Amino acid sequence: MHPIALVIGSLTIRWYGVMIAVSIAISITVVYIESRHQGMNSDDVLDMAIAGVIGGILGARIGWILTSPDVLWYLSHPLRILAIWEGGLSYFGGILGGVIAANCLIRRRRMGFWRMADLVAPLLALSFGIGKIGCWLNGCCHGTVTTSWLGVIFTNPLSECDLLNQKIWPAQLFNSASGFLAFAVLFWIVQRRKHYDGQVFIWYLYLYGATSFVVEFFRYIPVHVLRLTPNQWTDIVIILAGIIASPILRRRPPVRPVPPERSEALDATPEDSGESDG
């Protein structure tokens, strides 16, 4: 695979960055349309999505750099931290950064965290599926050596693959397929049959954790702890978190959406209440 999509002067744009941009555009569009179908304030949802994307990109990049063996090099070359189009994003860092940024707006607009989590959960799976195509084109996140007819060979020296000119499992495509499958299940089955706020997101944790755990057996990960990769241990924690959270959320009353006119006035509420107390 050729990881370079476009070269403009000294600027090199990788397919990885292009696919990330595509996943963001598609996800925001779908979440906006779906919010209208569910009778939500689509303007609030769009603001939340934009905040989540910005926080997600920052969190993904920071998370990847902090866990990278080249962290000291990045700290001495801070402008290279911004070069996300070259690859190097942490999925969990992106989730954490996106949740923190989006939750700030959700709390301010009183949108209901778990209701919004259900809305975006299918899109997290979809963006994961699209993003892993970027990994495939970039050569990163690849599999181990294999003799299977499914094996592929990366030969481009510009690729991020650590096992050039060897037949390896296309682990990126396995991950991508799992993301699209999870999206289909969440969007067309679970979301249409949900019984409590947070149920779709809980199922996202189950599906992501289970599929990621399986694909990790095909990935080239030198570090193992008790015969499992660090990601597999994280997947176990994710599934357990879903199991624990499910009965708790099931007992919570649903959060009703704030009407559009009230949502628009919420930003002024603290000031108004302060004046009335005086």
**pLDDT on residue 101:** 95
Decide if 114 contacts 253 (C-beta within 8 A): no
Of 166, 170, 248, nearest to 202 (Cα)? Answer: 248
Q: Does residue 4 sit in helix, strand or coil? A: strand
Q: What is the DSSP string of 196-207?
A: STTHHHHHHHHH
Which residue has 């939750």 as its token pair?
103
User: Above 60 in pLDDT, residue 204?
Assistant: yes
> pLDDT tens digit string along 132-142?
999 999 898 89
Q: Is the pLDDT of residue 148 over 90?
A: yes
Contact 92, 63 (CB under 8 A): yes
What's the start-to-end Cα distance of the chain, in Å? 67
Q: Which residues contact 238 (CB under 8 A, 6 or more apart)?
A: 205, 208, 209
**pLDDT score recorded for residue 17:** 82
Asked whether 232 and 216 are in contact (CB, 8 A), the reply is: yes
Asked if residue 206 lies in contact with residue 242, where contact means CB atoms within 8 angstroms, the answer is yes
Half-sphere exposure of 236 (CA within 13 A, CB side): 5
By C-alpha distance, which of 265, 266, 264, 257 is closest to 38?
Answer: 257
Distance CA 240, CA 115 (A): 21
User: What is the model's pLDDT at position 6?
Assistant: 84
pLDDT given at position 81:
77
pLDDT digits (tens, 9 = 90+) for 221-274: 888 899 999 889 989 999 999 999 999 999 987 656 555 555 455 455 554 444
The model's pTM: 0.84
Q: Is 253 exposed, middle or buried (0-12, 13-18, 19+ CB in 10 A)?
A: exposed
Inter-CA distances, 205 with 118, 124, 125, 170, 213, Å: 11, 10, 10, 23, 12
